[in-house]
Amino acid sequence: MKLLRYGPLGAEKPGILDAEGGIRDLSGVIADIAGDVLTDEGIAKLRAVDPASLPKVAGSPRIGACVGNVRNAICIGLNYSDHAKEAGLAVPAEPIVFQKSSSAICGPNDNVEIPRGSKKTDWEVELCVVIGKRAKYISEETALDHVAGYCVANDVSERAFQSERGGQWTKGKSHETFGPIGPWLVTRDEVPNPQALDLWLEVDGVRRQNGNTKNMLFGVATIISYLSQFMTLLPGDLIMTGTPAGVGLGQKPEPVFLKPGQTMKLGIEGLGVQEQTTVQA
């Protein structure tokens, strides 16, 4: 299934894609794509609904973040060796974990703000994992059973705020609109191998990133199990799993960063495509 949220910011309704790619309204079945709806039981309830029996959504509404009421947005840094190399940093021995503020989460085609005072706003296409089952001290062997599904994410980053202002990476990752997710949540049964997905990103029509999730240093199962040793993951939590080479910071002969008025377009095989315009905050 492909689940989504549509409508004005702050008033999104739950939806599902039908066989023709049209949006059907799920608001008569569930209140939102969030929390317990993302458990195995919640997904099974939705699977029992025939999309053709649901009201069609007319026109082309705004598509919101595919998960509502996000509690945790957890990110993994330097999870592709080629990205670590372009950043001039050592390949990590364990996953690098940081937080992105939940207020950064936005729709897949919403404008992305360039923060005030920013000189180094950057792009990062990433596979995002949506947790569907409480995870605490779980094994790698059972980790994928705790996944509700997957979506595209753009882990937008302000590199100066991230690395030149002291403290942790979070303040370079958390500006409002720095976390587009969607266009839809693809349930895990439709992604049999999350380590075999092509992902890419373009800026103003120029391909900047090309990668495949097979090249992750730490795969999805490893990441979920690892995180569960330090925190309890709950349904609706997001995990952004890292980005391949090609970010603005790594461009040669010198870095290239985003300015207002540019267009980012990015996607992951089977998970859809996002497109954002940059604007000044």
- Residue spans per domain, the chain: 2-53, 73-280
| pLDDT value of position 244 | 97
| pLDDT value of position 88 | 82
Question: For the whole model, what pTM was predicted?
Answer: 0.97
Q: Tokens 């082309």 correspond to what residue?
A: 60
Which helix (DSSP H) or strand (DSSP E) does residue 267 occupy?
Answer: strand 263-268
Which helix (DSSP H) or strand (DSSP E) does residue 82 occupy?
Answer: helix 81-86
CA 164 – CA 227 distance, rounded (Å): 27
Contact between 16 and 24 under an 8 Å Cβ cutoff? The reply is: yes
Sheet holding 2-6, edge to edge: 23-25, 13-17, 2-6, 185-187, 147-154, 125-131, 238-240, 73-77, 96-100
* Closest to 3 (Cα-Cα) out of 151, 199, 178, 198: 151
Q: What is the pLDDT along the chain (281 residues), one digit of tens a residue?
A: 999 999 999 999 999 999 999 999 999 999 999 999 999 999 999 999 999 999 999 999 999 999 999 999 999 999 998 888 888 878 899 999 999 999 999 999 999 999 999 999 999 999 999 999 999 999 999 999 999 999 999 999 999 999 999 888 999 999 999 999 999 999 999 999 999 999 999 999 999 999 999 999 999 999 999 999 999 999 999 999 999 999 999 999 999 999 999 999 999 999 999 999 999 99
CA 25 – CA 15 distance, rounded (Å): 5
| pLDDT value of position 6 | 98
Q: Which two tokens stand for residue 62?
A: 């705004």
Contact between 157 and 122 under an 8 Å Cβ cutoff? The reply is: yes
| pLDDT value of position 168 | 85
| pLDDT value of position 85 | 84
Which helix (DSSP H) or strand (DSSP E) does residue 75 occupy?
Answer: strand 73-77
| pLDDT value of position 29 | 97
Burial class (CB in 10 A: 0-12, 13-18, 19+), 137: exposed
CA 16 – CA 19 distance, rounded (Å): 10
- Cα angle: 130, vertex 221, 102; to 5 degrees: 30
| pLDDT value of position 83 | 85
| pLDDT value of position 86 | 85
Q: Write down the architecture of domain 73-280 according to CATH.
A: Alpha-Beta Complex (3.90)
Cis ω for the linkage preceding 255 (within 30 of 0): no
| pLDDT value of position 87 | 82
